[in-house]
Structure 1
Amino acid sequence: MSARTTVLDPAVRDAMVAFSAAAKKGLGDPGLAELLMIRASQINACAFCLDMHHDIAVAKNGENPERIALLSAWREAGTLFSERERAALELTEAVTLLTEGSVPDETYARAAQHFSETELAHVLGVITVINSWNRLMVSRRIEPGGPAW
C-alpha cells in the first residue's frame, strides 16, 4: 500500500491541531489523553497515529511501555490501569465503535463517575479528534513517520 498524494488543506490541518490542543488541555492529564488516542488508533488500525502517540506517551509523558503493550487488553490487565483510566478506555471503545450501536448508558455513567462534566467533555473531545485524525491518516495511507500534511 503506497501513500496517496492528497494534501491536507492548511485550514483543515490548523482546525484539527487546534481541536486536539483544546481537548487535551482541558483534560489536564496528558498521559490519559495519549492512552485514549493510542487505544482508538489501535481499533482504527492507524499506524501513523499509533507510532506518533506511542512516542509521545513514552518520551514526553514517561508512560510505562508495558502499559502501552497491554492497552488492547486493558480489561484483562488487572490493576495496571486505574478505575478512572478503565472508565475512559471503555468510553473510548464505545465512541470509536459507534457503527456497532450507541454508547451504552452504563458506559457513559461509569465515565461520569470519574470525571467532572467539563473533564468528560474533554475526554469526548480527545476521543472524537483522534478518530478524525485516524480517518484522515488511514484514508490517505500515511505510514508511520511519513509526512502528515
Structure 2
Amino acid sequence: MTARTTRLDDGVRSALRTLSATAKKGFGDPVLAELVQIRASQLNHCAFCLDLHLAIARGQGVDERRLDLLDAWEEAGDVFDERERAALALTEAVTVLTEGFVPDEVYEEAARHFGDTELAHLVALITVINSWNRLMAGRRIPPGSTEW
C-alpha cells in the first residue's frame, strides 16, 4: 500500500499533537489513554495509529493479553475493570455515533468513574484520535511510515 499523499500542513499536525498531549495529560491515566486510542483506531481501521499506539502501550508494559482482547473487551470478563470498560464504551459511542449521539446511559456510566475534568479530557482524547485516524486512514498512510 502506498500513501495517497504525505502532505499535511505543519499547523494542522502541530495543533493535533498539542491537543493530543493536552488531553492525555489532563486525563491523567496514560495506560487507559492508550487503550482508548487503540480501540478507536480498531473501529476506524487505522493501521498507522494501531501500529503506533500498540507500540506505546507495549512500551508502558501493558500486558499482551489485554491488547489481544481489546477488540472484544465486552466479552473479556475481568480482563478490563469497570472504569476501563466505561471508558471503552464511551470511546465506541463517540467514535461510531450509531444513534447520532452518545447514549445517556453510556455517558452516565463514564461519569460515575471519572470526574468532570477527567471526563472532558477523555472526550477530547477520543475526539482527537478519531481526527488522527481519519487523517491517516483517509490518506492511506502505512504503518511505521515516517513521511506523513
Q: Which residue of 1 aligns with 2:80?
A: 81
Unaligned runs of 5+ in 2: none
The one-letter code of the counterpart of 2:45 is A
Give the RMSD, CA atoms, in angstroms. 1.0
Q: Which residue of 1 aligns with 2:23?
A: 23
Normalising by structure 1, we get a TM-score of 0.96
State percent identity of aligned pairs.
Answer: 65
The one-letter code of the counterpart of 1:129 is V
Question: What is the number of equivalent residue pairs in this alignment?
Answer: 148
User: Which segments of structure 1 move beyond 2 Å, counting only runs of 4 or more?
Assistant: none
Unaligned runs of 5+ in 1: none
How many angstroms apart in 2 are the aligned matches of 1:17 and 1:4? 22
Q: How does 1:64-103 map to 2 (within 5 A)?
A: 64-103=63-102
How many angstroms apart in 2 are the aligned matches of 1:120 and 1:35? 15
How many angstroms apart in 1 are the aligned matches of 2:147 and 2:110? 32
Normalising by structure 2, we get a TM-score of 0.97
- Gap change, CA 1:126 and 1:101, over 3 Å in 2: same
Q: Which residue of 2 aligns with 1:143?
A: 142
Is 1:137–1:148's contact at 8 Å kept on the other side of the alignment? no
How many angstroms apart in 2 are the aligned matches of 1:9 and 1:29? 30
